[in-house]
Structure 1
């Protein structure tokens, strides 16, 4: 009987210890006008989570491990990254403008490209301002072509490529992505009328 009681107490202590290590975090995502942002992607240390913010702009999670950084990304607005210091609730306000670049070696940012099925999935998780439909048609925010086409110019390793070649880019080979729009596309003339997506691979 004493052994059973001892084992019960030990098991209870273990469970309490495990619970104490699990931290609940509520993330509230809003825009500049404090309007809740539904459908925002949440990333912990640049690892995309499986769910999105709800209709109230909230995302709740139990943390098994404390992340160093929390990010919220909205394809329609932009992205915000903040350091996490153990708060129970974070309010992330997404402002427009921080949506043009993914640069540097992705390995150094702890991004795991394996989590992305293809180049389109990768863009959805990383670049705000780039809208991608379910059929993988790309539109860079702010561009509406008069001829109905919204496909941007694709540049792969300094060479213009068609959508077929672009579609075959493997996420694990991506070194950096740069999205150009507005005056930045002038170098490419009429070819860059719908914006430019520049990809560098390893």
Structure 2
């Protein structure tokens, strides 16, 4: 590619060929600051061509393609593509975790009923006894603090399991607000 900037338009669609708004675009696994618009379109100017382009939507999945040098690109995200979700637990086995800046970005939007803000995670809503909403964090079979949990690098994650139903009872009162189990590589 020459030294001039190149305009690229990426259209993200689902399997029904409908536009996907709010999809995160990654160029060579680097998250961009702007998401797809309500028409599923992302436009950018590049100084150098990426090797790969990924489109990620937390409720649908992720699709990675090799960049072919064209100005107009269509990426179709298939439901569940690289994303494994069940009703009460979420485990991600294959991970393109380099696209996330923090463990909170990694978990955001992955499973219904789990809300992730900047550095807070709520699994079951407000606990009426003391107002505490913090889930139990387990890293490699050891209970850890929120501060240690927040320092987990997404690149180090092997799997994540979120417990939010009856399976939390084995953790007693500590698991009342849900449990997040992280295994690292």
Q: Which of these residues, 149, 165, 171, is aligned with residue 148 of structure 2? A: 165
SS of corresponding position for 2:156: strand
**Alpha-carbon separation, structure 2, partners of 1:105 and 1:135:** 21
TM-score (norm 1): 0.61
1:18 corresponding residue in structure 2: 3
**Alpha-carbon separation, structure 2, partners of 1:80 and 1:151:** 32
**Alpha-carbon separation, structure 1, partners of 2:119 and 2:52:** 32
2:19 corresponding residue in structure 1: 36
**Alpha-carbon separation, structure 2, partners of 1:134 and 1:26:** 29
Where structure 2 has 5 or more consecutive residues not aligned to the other structure, the ranges are 85-91
**Alpha-carbon separation, structure 2, partners of 1:71 and 1:56:** 17
1:198 corresponding residue in structure 2: 182
- 1:105–1:175 contact (8 Å) kept in structure 2: no
Q: Which of these residues, 78, 83, 86, is aligned with residue 99 of structure 1? A: 83
Task: Please report the RMSD computed on the Cα atoms of aligned residues, expressed in angstroms.
Answer: 3.8
- 2:138–2:180 contact (8 Å) kept in structure 1: yes
Deviation at 1:60, TM superposition (A): 0.6
- The change in CA–CA distance for 1:187 and 1:91 in structure 2 (over 3 A counts) is same
- The change in CA–CA distance for 1:42 and 1:32 in structure 2 (over 3 A counts) is same
Where structure 1 has 5 or more consecutive residues not aligned to the other structure, the ranges are 1-16
SS of corresponding position for 1:18: coil
1:50 corresponding residue in structure 2: 33
Runs of 4+ in 1 over 6 A off after TM superposition: 147-152, 185-189
- 1:179–1:197 contact (8 Å) kept in structure 2: yes
Deviation at 1:196, TM superposition (A): 4.4
- The change in CA–CA distance for 1:135 and 1:188 in structure 2 (over 3 A counts) is closer
- 1:42–1:48 contact (8 Å) kept in structure 2: yes
**Alpha-carbon separation, structure 2, partners of 1:53 and 1:104:** 22
TM-score (norm 2): 0.66
- 2:138–2:179 contact (8 Å) kept in structure 1: no
